[in-house]
Structure 1
Amino acid sequence: MKPSLPQYAIIVAGGTGSRMQRDLPKQFIQLAGKPILMHTIERFYAFNPDIRIVVVLPEDQLQVWKELCKEHGFHIFHLTVAGGSTRFQSVKNGLGLVHGEAVVAVHDGVRPFVTTEIIAEAFEVVGEKGSAVVAVSPKDSIRELTEEGSRAVPRTRYKLVQTPQCFRASILQEAYQQSEQDYFTDDASVVEGIGMAITLVEGSYANIKITTPEDLLLAEVLMKQTL
């Protein structure tokens, strides 16, 4: 039997808290008694206790995070690395701690409700296709902006992209050697830049990204359902 590849999770947490209307970075806001980022890390650890976790934080937040881990008795092993000025640069810095061929999941630090089932499916699909990007179908009607105004488009042709976004390490490493472009809004768009096809995996509407006060209210409800 062919040995399985090492698994990594690069968890990107570069928030400043501006959209949350707080001074505290959103990944450090407490949810059910501990920072959101800790819940996110726990999801990947629950999926695979041997997964290699890399947390990317702004450089001025690394010491704060270390102190929070001590304060909350958070002992799940992970590596930390300073991020860059953009998400592209932050993921690239995280990739610097990935060694050899592996399967890598890149995930938002403030998506603490991803399920182990979704993570497992994404990693499984990567083994077959080389990529696996979690996404859901839009619930609302969609309109495309045009020079004349706007027009309706069929929502069945669109997906809302979430994380994790999973790839073989060699593919990600090659993709992140490109020059950064404005349209690189996530890892899938970066990987498409080297001509790689993207495979979608069904996500969950509960897999929210907590960026606004309204998101935090919903997160508190979702957390009560999981406790």
Structure 2
Amino acid sequence: MKRYALIVAGGSGTRLGAPIAKQYLPIGNRPILMHTLAKFRGFDPSLSLILVIPGADFDYWKSLCQQYNFDVPHLLVAGGQSRFQSVKNGLDAIADTEGLVAIHDGVRPFVDTGVIQQSFQTAQLTGSAIAVVELKDSIRKVAASGSSAFQNRNEFRLVQTPQTFQLKKIKKAFEVEESFAFTDDATVYEHQGWQVSLIPGNLENIKITTREDLEYAAYLVSKK
């Protein structure tokens, strides 16, 4: 089956307080997004890569690619006002209706290639594959009153990306109106009444959001 990777970095990414969006910040020897794209390219050179970033950033991204001699082939697509709209724009850029698509956060450059491989294999069989990891800490549910109650952490998982789907099904899922209940692509898929399949993720596959994440990311790059 034809396979795609939809790398989403459509937001402004300003939570770090840096002068540029986090997806363009360098770790190691190149910007975060380049690490992410290269990881999927290294997994399968025949994979069709689609990068979703703000349309206003196209020229800046192209200049970065020239600056860092980054030549991994990819299609640029303009993001929307929300992650839902950015993913939808990316899916709309895929003419095919048959195949598989891995949807991945652009600021998760440390996904393991084994996770990518299993995501495609599982999605081909079941329709979907959502990378998750077990919780290490104890958790409590906090009520509006401020009271809290113990929760069994074994009943919960932390959700990562990639979230990989049969193309025809995820395209249909994204035909609906956007809802605040859609916290990720899996919830959009579930809205159709379809059950998602979970696969093991990898703990290093962090989403770089804070300054501490960026420091940890630099450490991970230095280990390679």
- Write out per-residue CA displacement over residues 166-223 of structure 1, whole angstroms, 9 at most, x where no aligned residue: 0000111110001100010100000000011010010111001111100001001111
Indicate conservation of the 8 Å contact 2:118/2:199, yes or no: yes
Stretches of structure 1 lacking an aligned partner (at least 5 in a row)? none
2:10 maps to amino acid? G
**1:147 to partner: Cα distance:** 4.2
Indicate conservation of the 8 Å contact 2:11/2:83, yes or no: no
Match of 1:124 among 121, 124, 130: 121
**1:59 to partner: Cα distance:** 1.2
Match of 1:76 among 56, 72, 77: 72
Q: Are 1:12 and 2:18 matched, yes or no? A: no
1:118 maps to amino acid? V
Indicate conservation of the 8 Å contact 1:145/1:151, yes or no: yes
Match of 2:46 among 42, 45, 50: 50
Q: Secondary structure at the match of 1:122?
A: helix
State the percentage of identical aligned residues: 44
Who is 1:25 aligned against? 21
Who is 1:162 aligned against? 160
- Calculate the TM-score normalised by the size of structure 1: 0.95
Indicate conservation of the 8 Å contact 1:15/1:27, yes or no: no
Report the more deviating stretch, 175-184 or 12-21.
12-21
Who is 1:90 aligned against? 86
Match of 2:103 among 106, 117, 125: 106
1:110 maps to amino acid? V
2:136 maps to amino acid? K
Large movers: runs of 4+ above 6 Å:
none
Stretches of structure 2 lacking an aligned partner (at least 5 in a row)? none
- Write out per-residue CA displacement over residues 104-139 of structure 1, whole angstroms, 9 at most, x where no aligned residue: 000000000001111001111111111000000111
**1:146 to partner: Cα distance:** 2.1
1:107 maps to amino acid? H
Indicate conservation of the 8 Å contact 1:16/1:23, yes or no: no
2:3 maps to amino acid? Q
Please, what is the CA RMSD of the aligned residues? 0.9
Structure 2: distance between partners of 1:176 and 1:17? 23
Q: Secondary structure at the match of 1:163?
A: strand
Match of 2:55 among 56, 59, 64: 59
2:192 maps to amino acid? I
Q: Secondary structure at the match of 1:38?
A: helix
- Calculate the TM-score normalised by the size of structure 2: 0.97
